[in-house]
Structure 1
Amino acid sequence: MARPRQSLTSQLVESVTERIQSGQYKRGDQLPTEKDMIEEFGVSRTVVREAIANLKASGMVATRQGIGAFVLDEGPRGFRISEDNLLVVEEVIKALELRIAIESEAAALAARRRSPAELTRIEAACAAMDAAIEAGEETAALDIAFHRAIAQATGNRHFLGLFNYLGEVLVPRARVPTHQLDAGTLKDYLRRISAEHHQIVAAIAAGDSDGARAALRIHLGGSLDRLAQAARARP
């Protein structure tokens, strides 16, 4: 099986991690500024910020407001999900189970705590994915943006930090072509995903925490069920 192309965020995380582990960036060192990373790696400010959030979530760096990011350790000694493991269907299933547990509670909190601006952001992310589906454009990044908006609406920075790590590596179809496990076309599959997104949005908009939790579980649980069925069918 060919290795999937890494996202720009994953590539940047890997580059910085290698420099930390090699000693180029030592414990206590300040990482290059956003501007320097943008120029060196040719990525956007959003990619740099997501990469720093991932490194922070894995315990490798800490940020100081108004100053920058600093190296905490020589390498990730705590929780981390191997990119190589995620090439195996069974490992994607295990990781997706973790994402369901975290994101279902995030959706419930978002329903209770979201501000009008945060609801607008969630709705806009949902609409952007709808438009991309109908135009036949790539949707994986928009899918991530939708779920990230929900994590942000929890008002708990730890949910957002975890999602910036987990969500980037655990969108199922970025690892395994889940739509091929279904009857119908890719567009049909994505339309069903979008319909599930709309159910989540409706519950969050209504302030229905139980409904939001259930809708999120149904949404990600569908991917989990398809992957589990594929794993059982393999010789």
Structure 2
Amino acid sequence: MSTDSAPRKRGRSLTQEVVLSLTQQIREGEFLPGSKLPPEAELMQREGVSRTVVREAISQLQAARLVETRHGVGTFVLDIPASPSSDISLDCNLVTLLDVMSILEFRISIESEAAGLAAHRRTADDIHAMRAALEQFDVTSDLRNESNVKADIAFHTAIATATGNRYFADVLKQLGAAIIPRNRVDAVRRTPQQQHEYLRQIHGEHLVVLGAIERQDAESARAAMRTHLSNSRERLRTVREVLAEQQAGVTPSGSNNGEYQDTAAQPTHR
């Protein structure tokens, strides 16, 4: 349960804080499936926020299919979807940008090592699979569609497969489309030129990773993957800040009429 004395972390909007608080309470069983959430006035007091913040948080929980609101009756907790059966149990119900950033933090540790192992163990077929994925990514780089996301997933999965250790690939398969934060980044409006530049930067980072794996340079492969995923995290952090400022009615700093500006570091080709 949230308390008035609990410190709010800097950088998070009040809405994000309430979403995280209620999500945690739902997952820990404080609010069971089918039970009714407390009324707005009580949530306002529990969380120490305004009615507007509570309503925005409930809307986000509805979008995440954690609750449903019945007109004139109240807001009720839904059943949390069970994770697919697997040797590895991962929660893929991503609710907020902060969840996606946590996934990226996890991926940095896992996929950096996977890239290093792939550099040692890759076969010609593995390299072919990586190149095919990047060619598809390049072809669809001007489009906002699932083909581009699938190509991105295919590239990372091909690297995991090249390790020869099935658990790397199992982790990525379990996470599925959650490993690609592009839909969250697309929540911020971009011009076609910004969209093109954004995807070209990702493609460039991918090429650096592929080059190191193909050369069998394990250390460079680890470093390139770490740089790529760290850049993804920073791009998402920028989106979170822009959205928080938009919610507060402030023109985002360093932006053009609220349009997303990519500030992540450019990859260094070797």
TM, length-normalised to structure 1 = 0.62
Check if 1:220 corresponds to 2:220.
no
The residue aligned with 2:73 is none
Check if 1:56 corresponds to 2:86.
yes
CA distance in 2, matches of 1:162, 1:96: 13
Gaps of 5+ in 1: 5-16, 22-50, 59-78
Task: Mark the structure with the bigger radius of gyration.
Answer: 2
Gaps of 5+ in 2: 1-59, 65-79, 249-270
State the 1:111 CA deviation: 0.5
Check if 1:140 corresponds to 2:149.
yes
Check if 1:102 corresponds to 2:110.
yes
The residue aligned with 2:138 is 130
Could you tell which deviates more after superposition, 189-198 or 86-95? Answer: 86-95
The residue aligned with 2:26 is none
Instruction: Note if contact 2:153-2:177 (Cα within 8 Å) is conserved in structure 1.
Output: yes
State the 1:195 CA deviation: 1.0
CA distance in 1, matches of 2:108, 2:114: 10
Amino acid at match of 2:100: V
CA distance in 2, matches of 1:206, 1:188: 27
Displacement over 6 Å in runs of 4+? none
Instruction: Note if contact 1:122-1:150 (Cα within 8 Å) is conserved in structure 2.
Output: yes
The residue aligned with 2:215 is 206
State the 1:230 CA deviation: 3.6
State the 1:170 CA deviation: 2.4
State the 1:134 CA deviation: 4.8
Instruction: Note if contact 1:87-1:175 (Cα within 8 Å) is conserved in structure 2.
Output: no
The residue aligned with 1:189 is 198
Is the alpha carbon distance of 1:192 and 1:210 closer, same or farther for their aligned partners in structure 2, counting shifts above 3 Å? same
Within the candidate set 149, 156, 169, 2:158 is matched to: 149
The residue aligned with 1:161 is 170
Aligned residues: 169
Identity in percent: 35
Query: For each residue in 1:111-161, what CA deviation from the matched residue of structure 2 results, as whole angstroms up to 9, or x when unmatched?
Result: 010011111111111111111225675401110011000000000011111
CA distance in 2, matches of 1:56, 1:129: 29
Match of 1:87, SS? coil
Is the alpha carbon distance of 1:201 and 1:82 closer, same or farther for their aligned partners in structure 2, counting shifts above 3 Å? closer
Higher relative contact order (CA 8 A, sep 6+): 1
Could you tell which deviates more after superposition, 108-117 or 134-143? Answer: 134-143
Instruction: Note if contact 1:140-1:174 (Cα within 8 Å) is conserved in structure 2.
Output: no
The residue aligned with 1:47 is none
CA distance in 2, matches of 1:120, 1:100: 24
Is the alpha carbon distance of 1:129 and 1:155 closer, same or farther for their aligned partners in structure 2, counting shifts above 3 Å? same
Query: For each residue in 1:34-62, what CA deviation from the matched residue of structure 2 results, as whole angstroms up to 9, or x when unmatched?
Result: xxxxxxxxxxxxxxxxx9xx63244xxxx
The residue aligned with 1:121 is 129
State the 1:168 CA deviation: 2.9
